[in-house]
Amino acid sequence: MTDYRKLFDLSGRKALVLGAASGIGKAAAEALGALGAVVHCADLDLARAEATAEAIRATGGVADASRTDAASGEDVAALVQRAHASLGRIDIAVTTPGINIRKLVLNYSEAEFDRILDLNVKGTFFFLREVGRIMVAQKSGSIIASSSIRAFTIEPGLAVYGATKAAISLLVKGFAAEVGGYGVRVNAIAPSIIETPLSAPIKTRPEIYDTYARHTVLGRWGQPQEVGSVVGFLASDAASYISGSTLMIDAGWTAIDGPPTGLTQLG
């Protein structure tokens, strides 16, 4: 009989998490560490990346940290080489950085458009390319990028952001097709409303916060650890037959076309 518990065990795996300072990236790093992986935590905010590494160490894990600008191809290449030298190999690679400037397309400046594209799309491309080269050479690995439900459903002011997230999902599909023959899996996560520092301003506006919560079939916002646990799954052997996918973590946001109006009584 298959030892299903062992499929989720990441003991001995070496992981790189870019965006580990806060939110989903922090939760991903902590989840991987808790499941046994040695984790290199990277972020533009070095102090908070180091805090994440310390939190992993405090619970008996092994982790270190370094500073990286996820929008810089040179920085990402240097990070991957640094992590590879430190860890000896890279079995798991996760990238979560992304930004949004909520504006109507007619009001977007070219500089704003370039800023979103540089981090969300080019930054993801840099990361996939650099860790992909290492994983192809070692003939194994799991890469996890960050898309969003906004790749599939949209609202005014999110067209540019949504376009970048859709690009990530397609980049993941294409890259998975290219590296699958080398034993490398590539997937993306697509969260909906998750309580992170990025979404914190919405919490100060209860009418918007509650409206978003009601759009999910569970009627609530998600927590970073609920995304981190999915990252842990995709990184593990439990997901060994999953590649080229964008996994929804959205509490049913994309299952309905409007906010639920109430509970249906069954029976």
Q: Which two tokens stand for residue 40?
A: 């290199």
| Residues with Cβ within 8 Å of residue 23, at least 6 apart in sequence | 96, 194, 196, 197, 198, 224
Provide DSSP, 45-109.
-HHHHHHHHHHHHHTT--EEEEE--TT-HHHHHHHHHHHHHHHSS-SEEEE---------GGG--
> What would you measure as the largest C-alpha separation in the chain, in angstroms?
60
Q: Which two tokens stand for residue 38?
A: 């040695």
Residue located via tokens 């890279």: 90
Annotated catalytic residue within 161, 209, 212, 241: 161
Residue located via tokens 């998600």: 222
Clarify whether 161 is annotated catalytic.
yes
| Residues with Cβ within 8 Å of residue 177, at least 6 apart in sequence | 244
**Distance from C-alpha of 60 to C-alpha of 43, rounded to nearest angstrom:** 22
**Distance from C-alpha of 247 to C-alpha of 227, rounded to nearest angstrom:** 10
Sign of torsion over alpha carbons 146, 257, 103, 27: negative
Q: Which two tokens stand for residue 99?
A: 């930004």
- Catalytic residue list: 161
